[in-house]
Amino acid sequence: MKAKPSVQAKSLLLIHREPFSNEDDDIEATPHPSEPLSADDPLAPLPFNPYKGNRGLTRAWHAMKNSLNGFRVAIREESAFRQELTLAAILVPCGIFVPVSPVERAALLASVLLVLMVELLNSSVEAAIDRISLERHELSKRAKDFGSAAVMVALLVCVLTWGLIVGPLLWRWALMLF
């Protein structure tokens, strides 16, 4: 009596089967995964990255250096990020010293940081699209517009958060003054 292969063995057979090829067709068969791709192929494996093997503090050190470099480039090259950073320099101290609960304080500060994070992501999308091609293309425009819309949503969240939390305090202070 012949033993039936297990479910696991069947799935391994499905995973490791050879790619379909028919010698009668004019279509070039796809190379076997073990065969190297051509150097001109955009899907060819990337060259060895010396930073990928780093672990622990070395990896953290390189990550911190890259992050600080990203901040420097954003401050130097992106005027919108500079404007939002100036706004954050005003709002963060106000958010720390305004007399609200710790949860409300966290919401105020998080809304400001959200704007900065989304702006950095938008700038990275724009840089990647410009790196690919500077010619006008509908998909490039759409991606940049999506990033801009994300920044607008983050700004609206910030304005609503500050308006709902600090607005009533400002209203009470204004009534006390007049």
Query: What DSSP string runs through 121-169?
Result: HHHHHHHHHHHH--S--HHHHHHHHHHHHHHHHHHHHHHHHHHHHHHHH
Structure tokens at 174: 């204004």
Give the model's pLDDT for residue 85: 97
Q: What's at 93, amino acid-wise? A: P
Report CA Rg, the chain: 27
Quickly state the pLDDT bin for 112 (edges 50, 70, 90).
Answer: very high
Domain for residue 52, yes or no? no
Mean pLDDT (whole number) for 130-157:
95
Give the model's pLDDT for residue 36: 53
E-only strand ranges, 42-86: none
Single pTM value for the model: 0.68
- Known binding positions for ATP: 59, 78, 126, 135-137, 144-145
Domain for residue 88, yes or no? yes
Quickly state the pLDDT bin for 12 (edges 50, 70, 90).
Answer: very low
Q: How many CB atoms lie within 10 A of CB 87?
A: 15
Average pLDDT over all residues of the chain: 83
CATH of the domain at 81: 1.10.287.3610
Domain for residue 148, yes or no? yes
Range of the domain at 71: 65-177
pLDDT at 15 over 60: no
How confident is the model over 55-88, as pLDDT tens digits? 788 888 988 999 999 999 999 999 999 999 999 9
Helices 102-132 and 56-77: angle between axes, nearest 10 degrees: 80
How many domains, the chain? Answer: 1
Backbone angles phi, psi at 31, to 5 degrees: -70, 150
Q: Is 119 a catalytic residue?
A: yes
Domain for residue 79, yes or no? yes
Place of tokens 């704007």: 115
- Known binding positions: 59, 78, 80-84, 105, 119, 126, 135-137, 144-145, 148
Domain for residue 76, yes or no? yes
Among residues 23, 35, 77, 119, the one annotated as catalytic is 119
Domain for residue 58, yes or no? no
Burial of 9 (0-12, 13-18, 19+ CB in 10 A): exposed
pLDDT at 130 over 60: yes
How confident is the model over 81-100, as pLDDT tens digits? 999 999 999 999 999 999 99
